[in-house]
Amino acid sequence: MTDPLDRWADDLAGDLAEDLDPGAVDAIASQAASIAASAAASAGAAGAAAGATAAGATTAGVSAAAKIVTAVAAALAIGVGAFAATGNLPDPIQSFVADVVELVGVDLPRPGEDLPVDLPGVELPGADLPGEPSAPGGGTVSDVTVPDVTVPGATVPDAPVDPGLDG
């Protein structure tokens, strides 16, 4: 038994597809060519303009970016320097800044240096801070990890041991 699809496919294609009128082909081709040529010209012009704009934007962008970076760096240096000089930075940062500038011979106060660290029995900040630390917004900072702070030159005496507690 032959498959009717074979004949059907030929019939369907032959009936539906039909050569276009030559005049119609020429008319469509003429319009399409005109549109494509116009689009190509526009794309070329747009590409050239975009290239010029991009080049200018790149130069301007780099220049603006460089200015911004320089300004921010200067502001940070001034701000950090002022706070660092007075020892008002947060302890970890104060310590870090002091370590860094020490390399170039600048001596900045380090966290806890204003405390009588050589006095026996005195505990350094960080051991027992008075009161509950708080975070902005009222939350606690118990979950905040603070880097260990080293205090070069500070002598932390052993805690006095009450002999009575041993016995």
Partner 1 sequence: MIGVEEHMAEVDHHERIERARSGDERAWAEIVERLGPRILGYARGKGIADADDVVQDVFLAAARRIGDFEGTWSNFRSWIFSIAYRQIVDRYRRSGREDASLPRVLVDDLDPGPADEVVDREAASDAVRALDVLSGDERDVVLLRVVAGLETAEVAEAVGKRPGTVRVVQSRALDKVRAELRRRGYGELR
Q: Which stretch binds partner 1 (CB under 8 A): 16-24, 80-88, 130-138, 158-166?
A: 16-24
Burial class (CB in 10 A: 0-12, 13-18, 19+), 86: exposed
Instruction: Work out whether 57 is an interface residue with partner 1 (CB under 8 A).
Output: no
Look up residue 89 and give its two tokens.
């930075």
Stretch 32-51: interaction string toward partner 1, x if CB under 8 A: xxxxxxxxx--x--------
Comparison of 7 and 67: residue with beta carbon closer to partner 1: 7
Comparison of 24 and 122: residue with beta carbon closer to partner 1: 24
CA neighbor of 93 nearest in space, from 149, 131, 141: 149
Tell me the closest approach of the beta carbon of residue 54 to partner 1, in angstroms: 19
Q: Which stretch binds partner 1 (CB under 8 A): 27-35, 93-101, 121-129, 148-156?
A: 27-35
> Residue 163's Cα: distance from chain center in Å?
56
What is the spatial distance between Cα 89 and Cα 85, in angstroms, rounded to a whole number? Answer: 9
Q: What letter would DSSP give residue 134?
A: B
Which residues in this chain contact partner 1 in the complex, by CB under 8 A? 3-5, 7-9, 11-20, 24-40, 43
